[in-house]
Structure 1
Amino acid sequence: MAAAGVTKIDRSLAMVTEALSAWDWLVIAPVALPFLGAAALLILRKRIAWHAPASIGVMLLMLAANIGLLIRVWNEGPIHMAMGSWLPPFGIVFAVDTLGAIFATITAFTGLVCAIFATAEVEATEYRYGYFTFYLLMLAGVTGAFLTGDIFNLYVWFEVLLISSFGLLALGSNPIQLDGTFKYAILNLVATTLFLISVGLIYGIAGTLNMADLAVKARSGELAAPVMSFGALLTFAFLMKAAAFPLNAWLPASYHVTRSTSAALFAALLTKVGVYALLRTLVLLFPELGQTFAPIFLIAANATMLIGALGLLASSDIRRMVGWAVISGIGVILVGLGIGEMAALSGAIAYAVHSMVVMAGLYLLAGAMGWLSGSDSLFKMGGLAVQSPGLLLCGLGIVLATSGLPPFSGLWPKAILVEAALSKNAYLTVVVILVNGLLTTIALGRLFAFGFWREAQLERTEIGATPVLSMSRMAPIAIIVMVSLAFGLYPEPWLAASRQAAAGLLDGAAYINTVLPEG
């Protein structure tokens, strides 16, 4: 018997209460699949020969699910799923808009191509100690961060991807790996601690952690308490996650110590989670904070582009070079947040997508070059054009794409950001973007010339028999080059999706009304 004065809620007015179709389960399938795959690998821990094909199969399913989800969001607008019988803003909510669907799809794609490369690079003993288990768990954490509709669960997904990335970094347990893992762990734990503190402040101020509910309260002016406190903490934490200047020292000190496959996955995804969190919180949830911090973002963007390009020029270890290239690209993305208008945000999102694909390819290229040469030092490389003409062509494509040169994908988002900066009279930023592109071209041109055109620097007696690049190493790099070329030659769908994602962030009405329908 209901208590007096208690109104019975008709959940059918706010929630789908009948059985869901298979199409609806696409909302959580990209997260559920890698979790189930990781659990299966633990069960099959003694069947290490099954680990790689099983993981690749899971990632193919993830990619298919994400493509289906992106198509649905593109056609129908944002969608959400509330877990259990809790009405939003309570309980766990997955809310997917164009931005989240794009990033999740690229996550599955890069995870798949890097896993193919891993079959040639990672040793069987690492399979036994859980390489692909950590790998799938990290993909689950990254995808969950892109699809969650709750800011506390965003923190939870950060922890999932962080813990699994510790495993990938430390696997092998040699002293260099442990040193890099320690640096990576300390600074990232600082960032997540600051994030957790800011989540607590948000809950104390707003009384909710649901992203749509927070967006409603922020836009209506209900957050009368001093929001600058949690805004500053959030910004600091996410800039550290994104490896923006001056919080970038951990990335080139840690990514080079692990396998090229793991480093490629980290470069493609982990810094972009920080970028995504900045876009989601400071554009959709708290737009006034985003406007307040815009000058800081512009300063950080300029400094990050310059320090990344200079670090790229100063490095002679090719894997450290790629780390600086990742930092340089983060600076370009931050230009969009610093300008804050529709065109700039769409350019930043487009560049983030480009960077996720191409940075993975650049790390895989560095791994293949180092394996063929027997060294990661530029001064000991040479003769790769003769050893592998196919890698020569792929290397040229990756270098052009990273430098933002036609006909590859890096050109269009940079052009959009330059145009947006000119419209806001941010001439210094325009100059920095162009200088960044010039220095990146020079540095990567040196990498290409030393690695491929110069005569071999190491005698084969020093490094053993002449190695032959297998299809498992070559195919992922070639696939990335072809995708970047396709984006460059036919950019309309990619740029249209970026514009739709930026519009959804700036407006927010479709996202909010999906999770919290009127009435």
Structure 2
Amino acid sequence: MSPLALPLLIPLFAGALSLAAWRWRTLQRLIAVAGTAGLLVAALWLLAEVWQDGIRVLQVGSWPAPFGISLVADLLGAIMVVVTGIIGLAVALYSLATTGPGHVAFGYFSLMHLLLGGVTGAFLTGDIFNLYVWFEVMLVASFALLTLGSEKAQMEGAIKYVTLNLLSSVIFLVAVGLLYGLVGSLNMAHAAQRLAVLDTGLVDVLALMFMVAFGIKAAAFPLFFWLPASYHTPPVAVSALFAGLLTKVGVYALFRIFTLLFPHSPGYTHEILLWGAGLTMLTGVFGAMVQFEFRRILSFHIVSQIGYMLLGLALFTPLAVLGGIFYVVHHIIVKANLFLISGIVHRLRGSYRLEHLGGLYRDCPWLAMLFLVPALSLAGMPPLSGFFAKFIVIRAGLEAGAFGVTAIALLVGLMTLYSMIKIWAEVFWKAPPEEAPAMSAPRRQELWLMALPAVGLALCTLFIGLQAGPLYVLAEASAVELLAPERYIEAVLGMEARP
């Protein structure tokens, strides 16, 4: 079997097995770990194949492109699938300790696999309509996970989440219909080939429509309010999964569309992206600074950090695109880990409110040190992964002469550090409040299962920081591929790509 199909089939098959084993909760947990571990192994195999042999293409049903469905893995897609496998395995292990029988009985693990399948499908599809389909698979699975427990806060957050994401889906679907009417194809490589020879204002309209649709899904300014209203409401393992992956699929789609379909889009589209990136950074970090709930602070910081990724795309230079890719990988690992650590804090103290927390440095120094790794990395402190990610993007901004938005990026880095120091001071350093609720100590096995994936992700952060070379080389090669879309087109269409 092609290594290109495995990362897609494994989570879907694991989800079906979990659904069939709904009466056997222990078996569902075993399937969750085995399925996500299998996804990670298959993703690493795929990345090795792409690195060695170039862009890999699978024509489903042996129908040649552009008539059939194409699965395509270039370096960017393969890298994103690997990081999906890492986060999936970490969340599956964490869920063993944090997911109760009630959530398991309502299909938690099946939904988790379905979400991972949707994310992987979005990264590997070569068809614009199937990209829409995989977005909807993610939306269905994420909505179900968001409402597990049916608490009032969850339902309120879910309504905002679904409303804006459905708006995004409508815009996306209309844009797909217009694209098909314009070029007569839904295969992205074929559509890119035909768009390149068109000279009509409708192409610019399509570019803007896709920008808005994917910008909403990426939680970019101004329609990002669904994210901080919803990500702090579900079980913490679900929050970590969402924080790591969902908005990054929107960012990935923007990178894919603007390097493949619209690589020569007019300057104002990238100007919109540029200042959208700056405003996304500012609004996200300002929102985080005024919050005093652990997960809401982290949720607003997802928004602010999306701005750095969009800045890499907006500048559209090889170094900037490299920095954007590097930043995406770093942020997925760091942000998911911070949510996992917030769950450990909640298990030990029974609250996410900063005023109800304190004293954890004295009681759990290992947890305090574990928090500092992703927290300082998020703020961009050397020698952690966030420092190199921010350094590359900021350097690209200076080289491109975008001094205003680069100054914003530097300022937001300082304000991010302030937010992380606030969490450190309130959660770990200050004395615990006298009215803190009495909590039963978690079982040793439960705490170990919660800590293990957090430690693993912290080690990934340290590795990327101390050994940034491998990821830099991968991101650089991926940026070269993205900025030479003819490679993608020829890999998918073969002889059809030649004039």
What's the TM-score bracket when you normalise by the shorter of the two chains? over 0.9
Which residue number corresponds to residue 210 of structure 2?
A: 234
Provide the residue aligned with 2:263 in structure 1. Answer: 287
CA deviations 1:131-175 (Å, max 9, x no partner) are 000000000000000000101000000011110001100111111
C-alpha change, 1:225 and 1:88, in structure 2 (3 Å) is farther
> Is 2:410 the partner of 1:450?
no
Structure 1 residue 464 corresponds to structure 2 residue 433: no
Change (3 A) 1:468 1:402: farther
Is the aligned partner of 1:383 residue 2:359?
yes
1:48-93 Cα offsets, whole Å, 9 max, x none, are 1111111110111110000000011011110100011311011111
Counterpart of 1:108 in structure 2 is 85
Matched, 1:265 2:241: yes
* SS state at 2:494 partner: coil
**Are the aligned partners of 1:131 and 1:168 in contact in 2 as well (CA < 8 Å)?**
yes
SS at match of 1:517: helix
Q: Which amino acid aligns with 1:173?
A: S
- In 1, Cα distance between equivalents of 2:440 and 2:73: 51
The alpha carbon displacement at 1:225 in A equals 5.9
| CA displacement, residues 203-252 of structure 1 (integer Å, 9 cap, x when unaligned) | 00010011111121223x13646212222211101000000111111100
1:511 offset after TM fit, Å? Answer: 1.2
Which one of the candidate residues 477, 490, 515 is aligned to 2:454?
477
SS at structure 1 position matched to 2:232: helix
Match of 2:396 in 1: 420
Kindly state the Cα deviation for residue 34 of structure 1 after the two structures are TM-superposed: 0.8
Contact 1:239 1:274 in 2 (8 A): yes
Q: Does 1:192 align with 2:169?
A: yes
Which AA in structure 2 matches 1:278? L
Decide whether the 8 Å contact of 1:361 with 1:398 is kept in 2: yes
Equivalents in 1 of 2:366, 2:449: separation in Å?
Answer: 13
Contact 1:291–1:340 (CA under 8 A) maintained in structure 2: no
> Structure 1: how far apart are the matches of 2:125 and 2:22?
30
Residues 359-418 of structure 1: CA distance to partner in whole angstroms, max 9, x if unpaired?
100111112112212111111110111222211110111111111111211111211111
CA distance in 1, matches of 2:302, 2:243: 6
Residue 303 of structure 1: aligned partner: 279
Q: Which runs of 5+ in 2 are unaligned?
A: none
Q: How many residues align?
A: 494
Q: Give deviations 1:241-268, integer Å, cap 9, x for gaps.
A: 0001111111000011101110111111
Corresponding residue to 1:254 among 222, 230, 247: 230
Q: SS where residue 57 of structure 2 aligns?
A: strand
The corresponding residue for 2:19 is 42
CA contact (8 A) 2:214 2:251 kept: yes
Is the contact between residue 372 and residue 468 of structure 1 (CA under 8 Å) also seen in structure 2? no
5+ residue gaps in structure 1?
1-21
Q: TM-score, normalised by structure 1?
A: 0.93
User: Contact between 1:205 and 1:223, CA under 8 Å: does it hold in 2?
Assistant: no
**1:60–1:305 Cα change, 3 Å:** same
How does 1:4-23 map onto structure 2 within 5 Å?
22=1
Checking the alignment, whether the CA contact within 8 Å between 2:204 and 2:266 is kept in structure 1 is no
- Whichever residue aligns with residue 388 of structure 1, its letter is C
The aligned amino acid for 1:193 is V
Contact 1:302/1:432 (<8 A) preserved: yes
Q: Is 1:436 equivalent to 2:412 in the alignment?
A: yes
State the identity %: 38
Task: Report if aligned partners of 1:205, 1:225 keep a CA contact under 8 Å in 2.
Answer: no
Residue 477 (structure 1) shift: 1.0
Q: What is the distance in 2 between the residues matched to 1:464 and 1:400?
A: 29
The aligned counterpart of 2:305 is 329
Letter in structure 2 aligned against 1:341: T
The question of 1:493 aligning with 2:478 is answered no
Residue 345 (structure 1) shift: 0.5
Q: Secondary structure at the match of 1:261?
A: helix
The residue that corresponds to 2:160 in the other structure is 183
Query: Is residue 2:43 matched to residue 1:51?
Result: no
Q: CA RMSD in A?
A: 1.3
Structure 1 counterpart of 2:338: 362
Distance in 2 of aligned mates of 1:128 and 1:397? 35
SS in 1 for 2:72: strand
Gap change, CA 1:284 and 1:458, over 3 Å in 2: farther
Q: Which amino acid aligns with 2:465?
A: G
Cα deviation code 1:13-65 (max 9, x no counterpart): xxxxxxxxx4xx11011010111111111111100111111111011111000
Partner residue, 1:162: 139
Structure number with greater Rg is 1
The whole-number CA distance in structure 2 between the counterparts of 1:177 and 1:222 is: 46
Q: Distance in 1 between matches of 2:131 and 2:360?
A: 44
Task: Please state whether the residue corresponding to 1:80 is helix, strand or coil.
Answer: strand
Q: Would the alpha carbon gap of residues 466 and 86 (structure 1) be closer, same or farther in structure 2, given more than 3 Å must change?
A: closer
